[in-house]
């Protein structure tokens, strides 16, 4: 069984139990101030399973359900909403019933960038139920919003903030995501025909939220991309992609102020470092550089043993929304950005 709940424990439902959702559920089960009271799943095969079985932990007594009525009946304080796609009917149904939402869904990073009709509908649901919604994660989220706010608290003038992300995607992504969604293994010509508007907008929206928090004006964004191919056949999980196929992709989104870059995010995602042309790649992690009156150069690595990577990497995305739950529940109604919340401190006891 799970830990004993206290009178002050917040009641939490985990919505979706994929890789990140399972990591979030494990964090809730082990959290001193949270009580897992429900699990929402989509697969008939998962219905009725114990939450612990779904996330690789001991039995909790909490059984998974598929219908939203069962979730609403639990009257949770917050839902960790982590499905593959957003259903605005479900989101509004939760909010209208006074249930706060912590999520990793990218649609909510910058409310002003949302389609006006959807934003107004969600804000109305928040005010009807007295509830709040906040989206976060590792990237975007922590590295594009939370950390830069702290770093730039040292500054009075920003010339350029540049964030580089380096990720060997094999251990952090399923085969289906690597091939079907990200396009690894395709010819450069086929990859060039892909549309990544949603991905591009995610980082644009997150950087806009950061700029708003700092009072920095961004006139427009420019997005560019390039690829490199594998020199040798490269094994993913079950599939080996051929030499000459796409094995690395770099997307650059740049916010311009008066025609000059002021904020930039560059993702360097790859499945092998043996590339043509050769790229200057680092191990998994981030590099943040600040140019201005307080220059900084910060490098963050992930020193995770190879045998633990698949189990540990999802925590980077899952844990910040979990840690933000008490702050979301205490906040005024509405769609909250990182700047709308106090600094998120993890309760590690």
Residue 243 lies in a domain: yes
Confidence at residue 5, expressed as pLDDT on a 0 to 100 scale: 56
Residue 308 lies in a domain: no
Confidence at residue 154, expressed as pLDDT on a 0 to 100 scale: 98
The answer on 143 and 128 residing in a single domain is: no
Per-residue pLDDT tens digits of the chain, which is 349 residues long: 445 556 689 999 999 999 999 999 999 999 999 999 999 999 999 999 999 999 999 999 999 999 999 999 999 999 999 998 999 999 999 999 999 999 999 999 999 999 999 999 999 999 999 999 999 999 999 999 999 999 999 999 999 999 999 999 988 788 888 999 899 999 999 999 887 766 668 899 999 999 999 999 999 999 999 999 999 999 999 999 999 999 999 999 999 999 999 999 999 999 999 999 999 999 999 999 999 999 999 999 999 998 898 899 999 999 999 999 999 999 999 999 999 999 999 999 7
Task: Please state, in angstroms and rounded to a whole number, the distance separating the CA atoms of residues 17 and 34.
Answer: 18
Residue 349 lies in a domain: no
Task: Tell me the CATH number at 110.
Answer: 3.40.50.720
Task: Please state, in angstroms and rounded to a whole number, the distance separating the CA atoms of residues 349 and 90.
Answer: 33
The answer on 161 and 298 residing in a single domain is: yes
- Count up the domains in the chain and report the number: 2
Residue 72 lies in a domain: yes
Residue 4 lies in a domain: no
The answer on 126 and 49 residing in a single domain is: yes
The answer on 286 and 208 residing in a single domain is: yes
Strand order from edge to edge, sheet including 260-270: 275-276, 220-230, 246-257, 260-270, 158-168, 285-292, 296-301
Residue 228: alpha-carbon gap to chain centroid: 25
The answer on 130 and 172 residing in a single domain is: no
The answer on 102 and 236 residing in a single domain is: no
Strand (E) or helix (H) holding 299: strand 296-301
Task: Tell me the CATH number at 260.
Answer: 3.30.360
Contact (Cβ atoms closer than 8 angstroms) between residue 15 and residue 40: yes
The answer on 320 and 180 residing in a single domain is: no
What's the token pair of residue 64?
């998974």
Q: What is the per-residue DSSP string for 233-267? A: -EE-SS-EEPTTSEEEEEEEEEEEETTEEEEEEEE
Confidence at residue 2, expressed as pLDDT on a 0 to 100 scale: 47
Confidence at residue 177, expressed as pLDDT on a 0 to 100 scale: 86
Residue 345 lies in a domain: no
Domain range enclosing 44: 10-135+313-340
> Angle, to 10 degrees, between the axis of helix 88-96 and the axis of helix 116-129?
30
The answer on 197 and 104 residing in a single domain is: no
The answer on 264 and 233 residing in a single domain is: yes
The answer on 177 and 258 residing in a single domain is: yes
Residue 205 lies in a domain: yes
Contact (Cβ atoms closer than 8 angstroms) between residue 37 and residue 12: yes
The answer on 148 and 217 residing in a single domain is: yes
The answer on 233 and 164 residing in a single domain is: yes
Residue 28 lies in a domain: yes
């Amino acid at each position: 069984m799970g830990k004993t709940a206290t009178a002050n424990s917040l009641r939490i439902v985990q919505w979706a139990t994929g890789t990140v959702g399972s990591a979030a559920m494990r964090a809730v089960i082990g959290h001193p101030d949270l009580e897992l009271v429900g699990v929402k799943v989509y697969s008939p095969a998962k219905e009725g399973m114990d939450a612990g079985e779904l996330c690789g932990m001991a039995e909790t007594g909490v059984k998974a359900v598929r219908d939203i009525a069962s979730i609403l009946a639990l009257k949770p304080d917050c839902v960790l909403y982590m499905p593959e796609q957003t259903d605005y009917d479900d989101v509004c149904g939760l909010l209208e019933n006074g249930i706060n939402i912590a999520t990793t869904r990218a649609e909510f990073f910058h409310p002003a960038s949302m389609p006006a009709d959807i934003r107004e509908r969600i804000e109305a649901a928040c005010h009807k139920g007295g509830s709040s919604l906040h989206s976060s994660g590792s990237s975007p989220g922590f590295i594009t919003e939370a950390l830069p706010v702290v770093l730039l608290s040292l500054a009075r003038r920003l010339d350029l903030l540049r964030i580089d992300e380096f990720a060997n995607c094999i251990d952090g992504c399923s085969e289906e995501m690597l091939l079907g969604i990200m396009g690894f293994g395709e010819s450069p010509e086929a990859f060039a025909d892909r549309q990544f508007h949603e991905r591009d907008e995610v980082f644009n929206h997150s950087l806009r939220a950061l700029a708003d928090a700092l009072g920095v004006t961004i006139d427009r964004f420019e997005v560019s991309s390039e690829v490199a191919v594998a020199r040798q056949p490269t094994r993913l999980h079950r599939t080996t992609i051929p030499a000459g196929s796409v094995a690395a992709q770099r997307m650059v989104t740049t916010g311009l102020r008066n025609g000059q870059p002021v904020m930039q995010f560059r993702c360097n995602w790859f499945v092998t470092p043996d590339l043509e042309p050769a790229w200057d790649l680092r191990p998994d992690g981030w590099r943040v550089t600040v140019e201005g009156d307080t220059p900084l150069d910060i490098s963050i690595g992930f020193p995770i043993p190879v045998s633990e990577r698949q189990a540990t990497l999802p925590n980077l995305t899952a844990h910040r929304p979990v840690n933000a739950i008490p702050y979301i529940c205490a906040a005024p109604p509405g769609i909250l950005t990182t700047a709308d919340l106090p600094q998120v401190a993890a309760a590690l006891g």
